[in-house]
Amino acid sequence: MSTRKAFTLIELLVVIAIIALLMSILMPALSRVKKQARTVACLSKLKQWGIWFSMYAEDYNGRFMQGFTITNQRAVQTLASYHKCDDKILTCPNATKPWVDQNGAVTGLEGTFLGSTSAWGYYTLSGLPKPIKGSYGVNGYINNPPKGSEPHSRNPDWFWRGPNVSGAAYAPLWMDAIRYNGYPLQTDKPPGFDGQQWNDDAQMGRYCMNRHDGFAGCLFLDYSARKVGLKELWTLKWHKAYNQAGPWTKAGGVTAADWPEWLRPFKDY
């Protein structure tokens, strides 16, 4: 009698079916692990930015930069000696492709549903050795603008100006953003879709993007970093007079139906 030395067709099909079943089980888990790893990497970058902001404040008597109304005083410019215009540290791992490439070609991402997973730039900013891109932005209220040069006619008493303030653990400093700065108000309406182009009348939309499964990475004024829920953004202490129980919070009476459809599944705050 001869000895069989190969699989039968049925055996081979069974093995293939088992492998396919295992892959269907494992792939979602692997995808979740990959997303979690990117979120951890994002928070790690934000903590590094916290070190740089801290060093800057120590060098300037406990004060931050003056802001974009003063030449070369944007946070991303004043901290250039630390980040070295390195794309890797300037971008969240989930948002690396810019609106405009290094050759000046428009990628078509700005203002689209892909905008939340894209970077701003490439921009040429004075004082920097090369055009840069990024996907983080500063809370403009942490700046220390000279009297009379407050951006968007914001009240001078609203600005934090430095890190040594009460409630620093609830005040955003630097976080996931579609623009390198922003000046949110408690009345800002949420974006109509994920990645909608920012505008000056609703600047909370510069930060309200679904990069981390309903969350955004945020560095706070006490230099702690954590994920914040997208709806939670309206409850943070953006400036000194900011109402944390404004119209887009549970305390302020917002209902699930008030939110744009894409935001409704996420946790309420």
Q: What is the reported pLDDT for 22?
A: 75
pLDDT bucket at 31, cuts 50 / 70 / 90: low
Residue 2 has pLDDT above 60, yes or no: no
SS3 227: strand
Residue 1 has pLDDT above 60, yes or no: no
Residue 201 has pLDDT above 60, yes or no: yes
Residue 138 has pLDDT above 80, yes or no: yes
Q: What is the reported pLDDT for 5?
A: 64
Q: Between 9 and 229, whose confidence is greater?
A: 229
Average pLDDT over residues 250-256: 96
| pLDDT 10s digits, 208-227 | 999 999 999 999 999 999 99
d(CA 201, CA 68): 18
The CA–CA distances, whole Å, from 14 to 4, 179, 193, 202, 208 equal 18, 53, 45, 57, 48
The CA–CA distances, whole Å, from 65 to 51, 156, 178, 262 equal 15, 15, 21, 36
d(CA 177, CA 208): 8
| pLDDT 10s digits, 7-27 | 677 777 777 877 877 777 766
Q: What is the reported pLDDT for 45?
A: 97
Contact in structure between 89 and 50 (CB atoms under 8 Å): no
Residue 6 has pLDDT above 70, yes or no: no
| pLDDT 10s digits, 68-110 | 998 889 999 999 999 999 999 999 999 999 988 888 888 888 7
Q: What is the reported pLDDT for 32?
A: 66
